[in-house]
Structures are given as C-alpha cells and as structure tokens.
Amino acid sequence: MELGPYLILASLEGAVTAAVLALTAVGLSLVFGVMRVVNIAHGEFFMLGAVIAWWIAHSMGGHPALGFAVALVVAPLVVGAIAVAADMTILKRLDYDPERTIVATIGLLYIIQQLTLMTYGPEARPVEAPFNTRLAIPWFENGENGWQMIWPWGLGTTSYKLAVIGAAMTVLLGVWVLMKRTRIGLVMRATQTDREMALAFGIPVERIYALVFGLGAALAALAAVLIVPIQQAHYLMGGDPLLLSFIVVIIGGLGSLPGTVLAAILIGLSDGIISVFFSPTLAKILATLLVGLVLVFKPGGLTGSSGK
C-alpha cells in the first residue's frame, strides 16, 4: 500500500482538529487581545458547549438533526450568557487586572467543572451526528489496465467531518467580517488599541468587554458542539482544547486573529499527520517544542510585528 491515501486521511483528520481548534483559539485570542485577560476557564466554556449540546439533543428526541440544529444555536448563546455574567460579576470587580483575572478564571474553571460533575456526572456521552455518510478516500493506482481510481479498503472519512471543516471556515469568516467590516468591530479594535482613549471617545468599554468575553466563550462552545458527535461530551474534556488554544495563540501572536487561524491550521494538520504516522504524544511534544522555539526566537508570534 502506498503512503498517499494515508496522508490524505491524516490531513483530513488534522483539518477537523484544525477547524475546531481555530474556533476555540480565536475565542481565546479575542478575549486576550481586546481585554488583556488570560482566560484559563476557556476550556470549560468549550466543555459546557458540549454538555449543553448533549442535554438538548437528549431531551429533544426526534430526528438527531433537529436536536443538533437547536444545540448549534442554543448552546453558544447559553454559554455566552454565562460568560457575560461571569464578566460582570467577577472580572469587572477585579478591574480586569491581568494577574488577578488569571487567578479568578482558574477558580471559575473549577467551579464550572465541579458543577458539571455534580449535575451531568462523570460519564462520557455521545451526541448523534445529524448526518454521517461514510465517504471512501479515492486513490489512483497504476495497475494492469493503466491508471485507475481505486478506493483503498478501510480508509474513509464521513460527510459530517467535512461539514465541520466547512462550518468552522464559515464562522471564522463571519468573525473576520465582524471585526473588519462592522461598527461594533471597529469599536472593539479601538478598545483593543487603547482602552483609556476608547473611554475618552465615549466607548462604553465595560459593555464591550462583557460582549467580547461572551463572544469568546460562545465561539468555544460552538466549536464543542461541532466536535461532540465525533468526540463525546465529558466534564474533563476542556483541558486539551485549553492547552492547544494557548499553544496556537502564542505561536500565532497574541491577539492576532489571522495569526491564530494560521497557527491553528499548522498545529491541527501536524497533529493529525504525526498522530496517524507516529503517535499523538509525539504531536503534543512537537507542538510544545514549537511554542518554546517561538517564545525564544520570535516572542511576538509568527505574525507579530514586534516582541512587545
């Protein structure tokens, strides 16, 4: 068997990882960029998205696509609302102090995690994908009858995985349009550049912060809803996305959205390919090594203009 089909498979798996990772990391990056808050609880917002998606799909019944569609809209909204509440009751009172918010979000992490354990329980529960057609991966082989297309046995992906990639790209495009082409995006970018001057020009910074924190959490929740038919919902599932998001955000350049997406693709694809050919642990080792190298040689990230 040739290497080609396996490479395609690994790239597809990597692209799914990259898509979900990009959504999660962009949420983290947005919050850090605009608010200068390092949100350690970001992974728990991801987990909440998955758990709420299971809960909705479970209690709705009927065709799986129906429950999933509702979850896709409701879970990010609920998680976003929880994040806004956390912002207004906790972060705002700490005056968004960079160090104290780190401690506060660590606390938030445990509160969300343990509350989920107490209510949802320790089980991992699946959500059925709305559609899940198996697609074989085609390959070309030079056989007896010259070049022909074959479908190597056992190698395939699903229509749902392709849809995850498409959905993530659409949402990321939406975030880009929001930031670059709308008034609220302009206000967010002004707040990001200079909080004090934003205030001096009538921008209600506290409201913008609440909105951004909610949006960041909602993006993580959305990513989780997309991945939960592939991965299952579990109360400890927030750890990996948090770590990988931090890796991606640091490599991409703190607060830079294009850099974050680029780094997510880099880390996601390499994670997929290395996991298939070698081992998932090696993929994590290499990603962490890359972060170290970036921090040493290019502290501003790959797209960062300076080490500021």
Judged by beta carbon, residue 137 or residue 190, the one nearer other proteins is: 190
271 vs 248: CA distance, rounded Å: 12
Q: What is the DSSP letter of 307?
A: -
We find the least distance from the C-beta atom of residue 187 to other proteins, in angstroms, to be 7
Tokens read off for 42? 């970001």
Judged by beta carbon, residue 33 or residue 216, the one nearer other proteins is: 33
State how beta strands 139-143 and 146-150 pair.
Answer: antiparallel
Judged by beta carbon, residue 148 or residue 193, the one nearer other proteins is: 193
We find the least distance from the C-beta atom of residue 259 to other proteins, in angstroms, to be 14
We find the least distance from the C-beta atom of residue 202 to other proteins, in angstroms, to be 4
Q: What is the DSSP letter of 37?
A: -
We find the least distance from the C-beta atom of residue 27 to other proteins, in angstroms, to be 20
The residue among 306, 218, 219 whose CA lies nearest residue 261 is 219
The residue among 110, 65, 96, 93 whose CA lies nearest residue 212 is 96
We find the least distance from the C-beta atom of residue 200 to other proteins, in angstroms, to be 5
Judged by beta carbon, residue 157 or residue 191, the one nearer other proteins is: 191
Judged by beta carbon, residue 150 or residue 199, the one nearer other proteins is: 199
Looking from the CA of 86 toward its CB, the CA atoms found within 13 Å total 28
We find the least distance from the C-beta atom of residue 298 to other proteins, in angstroms, to be 20
44: exposed, middle or buried (Cβ count in 10 Å: 0-12, 13-18, 19+):
buried
Judged by beta carbon, residue 36 or residue 189, the one nearer other proteins is: 189
Interface residues with other proteins (CB under 8 A)? 183, 186-187, 189-190, 193-194, 196-205
The DSSP string of 130-193 is: S---EEEPPEEEEETTEEEEE--TT-EEEHHHHHHHHHHHHHHHHHHHHHHHSHHHHHHHHHHH
Tokens read off for 127? 């959500």
Tokens read off for 300? 């501003």
The DSSP string of 65-131 is: HHHHHHHHHHHHHHHHHHHHHHIIIIIGGGTT-HHHHHHHHHHHHHHHHHHHHHHT-S--B----S-
Judged by beta carbon, residue 12 or residue 30, the one nearer other proteins is: 30
We find the least distance from the C-beta atom of residue 269 to other proteins, in angstroms, to be 29
Judged by beta carbon, residue 117 or residue 197, the one nearer other proteins is: 197
Is residue 233 helix, strand or coil?
A: strand
